[in-house]
Homo-oligomer: A and B are copies of this chain.
Amino acid sequence: MAVAARRKFRREGEERRRQDLIEATLDCVAENGLQGATVRAIALRAGVTAGLIRHYFPGKEELLQAAYATIMGRMTELAKTALATVEEQPRLRLAAFVEASLVPPVIDVRTFSIWASFIGRAGSDPALGVAHRAGYLGFRDEVETLVAEVLADAGRQASAGELRRHAIAINAIIDGLWVEGCLAGDMFAKGELAEIGIGSVEAMLGLRLRQGDVA
């Protein structure tokens, strides 16, 4: 009689498997929220069976944490990339940074869905709250540094309080436009959000960023 044939499989490297499982987890979260991230759904998407998850992670909770760390790392890495623009002039660097934050791949509905799914629990889950705060502050500090350079370049000096307010405001408008761009990107023309973002920052700082060489 036909005994059920055992499934064929290949041994992947440990790093590769971990990565695949994390990616599968992020896919599940993006599509159906944390509810959709069951061990079986994750395993199915990763092309393995459920039991394997516990071979690479102590439990589902740890896999979710690893997935969250991954998406956060990816987001900040994108931000860093945007910050490390090749531009020399501070104003162009700030403009390039704002622009990079408001076009793909930073504007991305999948990333947003994952972010929202996790961040919704930041109020009750201390670990998530701390992680968010750290990411936010790191981001804001970068913005603040950038703003300080821009103002110095323009021959203006700002107090610590002014710098702080500028950084908070610029960070907020980027975040706000990012949310809308991710949620309803098709409501905006291509490049429109970046245009609005840069224009807003210019207005806030009271100087032009893009036509660069006026002191």
A residues near B (Cβ < 8 Å) are 30-35, 109-110, 112-117, 119-124, 129, 132-133, 136, 165, 168-169, 171-177, 179-180, 182-184, 187-188, 193, 195-197, 199-200, 203-204, 206
Contacts and interface: CB of A to CB of B under 8 A. Distances in A.
25 contacts: A32-B124, A33-B33, A33-B120, A34-B34, A34-B35, A109-B123, A110-B123, A112-B120, A113-B120, A113-B121, A113-B123, A117-B117, A117-B121, A119-B183, A129-B184, A132-B183, A133-B184, A168-B196, A172-B175, A172-B179, A172-B180, A172-B200, A175-B175, A179-B179, A200-B204
B176 A129 contact: no
A188 B164 CA distance: 11
Nearest to A132: B183
A143 to B, nearest CB: 12
Main secondary structure of the interface of A (DSSP, over half): helix
Nearest to A195: B165
A21 to B, nearest CB: 20
Max count, chain B CB within 10 A of own CB: residue among A121, A129, A172, A204 = A172
Q: Which 6 A-B residue pairings sit nearest by Cβ, starting from the closest?
A: A172-B176, A116-B120, A176-B176, A175-B176, A117-B120, A109-B123
A136 to B, nearest CB: 7
Contact of A123 (B112, B168, B169, B206): B112
B187 A177 contact: no
Contacts of A115: 120
A35 B35 contact: yes
B136 A184 contact: yes
Given A32-B121, A34-B35, A165-B199, 19 more contacts: A30-B124, A34-B34, A35-B35, A109-B123, A112-B120, A113-B120, A113-B122, A113-B123, A117-B117, A117-B120, A117-B121, A133-B184, A133-B187, A136-B183, A168-B193, A172-B196, A175-B175, A175-B180, A200-B204
